[in-house]
Amino acid sequence: MDFRDRHVVVTGGTGALGAAVTSALLDRGAVCHIPVHGSGPPQDFAFASNERVRLYPSLDLSDQDQTDAFYARVGPLWASIHLAGGFAARKLKNSGKADLMKQLDTNVVSCFLCCRAALKAFGTDGGRIVNVAARPALEPRSGAGMTAYTIGKAGVAALTMALAEEVAGDGVLVNAVAPSVMDTAANRKAMPKADHALWPKVEQVAATILFLASPENTVTRGAIVPVYGRS
């Protein structure tokens, strides 16, 4: 998968999965554009000084004007990978409208606005969009106890399938992955008694994302790809 001199946006690029995706893209020659919600990346982000990494601090991707301005700075774009999102495990009876709106903003609205801006930034050769849904988006019953989150990720899945059909004639292929619980330090801390060996590794999920975003993907569109590992 050759990304040499191709410009790729990676939202959520400083997180656990984002770092794995960024690493794989850099290995294949890409220039990575990473929006950062805060004033700078985490101290342990290994690629902050890489010459092919561009960081854009203090960006709210649920704000249309900020998102449009960010993509306008990127230049000719090949792929836009949307890993940024939010998670909340809370039963519906203990939730309110604010909880639902937060999940919609961090998951659906940010994805919608990034897709919209990416379509305007792609060149005449088309491009690739890869979103991140989640297992509950495909299996809503598994979202019991996190209903607002499940609604948000189901929205990402629906957006992916509808948009894929909408832009297929423009040479833009839109897909998503739907991970189960991934093997990260944070998830191990939150679930210390789980069988971590069954969880998909972030590098494995990143490999699927890379193919969907690559020039080698010439036919796959509208897919919500389960990346569950053995869990």
Query: Which structural domains are found in the chain, ordered by start?
Result: 7-227 (3.40.50.720)
Count CB neighbours of 92 within 10 A: 13
Q: Model's pTM, two decimal places?
A: 0.96
Mean pLDDT of the chain: 96
pLDDT at residue 149 greater than cutoff 90? yes
Split at pLDDT 50, 70, 90, the class of 38 is confident
Tell me: the pLDDT tens digits for 174-229? 999 999 998 899 999 999 999 999 999 999 999 999 999 999 999 999 999 999 99
Is pLDDT above 90 for 40?
A: no
Contact 88, 136 (CB under 8 A): no
pLDDT of residue 183: 86
Classify each residue of 42-51 as buried b or exposed e, where b means 16 or more C-beta atoms within 10 Å of its C-beta: eeebebeeee
d(CA 54, CA 34): 6
Q: Token pair for residue 177?
A: 């992955």
Percent pLDDT > 90 in the chain is 91
Question: According to the model, what pLDDT value does residue 157 have?
Answer: 98
Phi, psi of 87 (to 5 degrees): -135, 140
Identify which of 211, 128, 201 has the alpha carbon closest to the alpha carbon of residue 164. Answer: 128
pLDDT tens for residues 99-148? Answer: 999 999 999 999 999 999 999 999 998 999 999 999 999 999 999 999 99
Query: What is the pLDDT at residue 52?
Result: 97
- Report residue 14: phi and psi, to 5°: -100, 0
| pLDDT > 70 in the chain, percent | 100
At 63 the pLDDT is 97
The answer to whether the beta carbons of residues 160 and 174 sit under 8 Å apart is yes
* Maximal C-alpha separation, the chain: 50
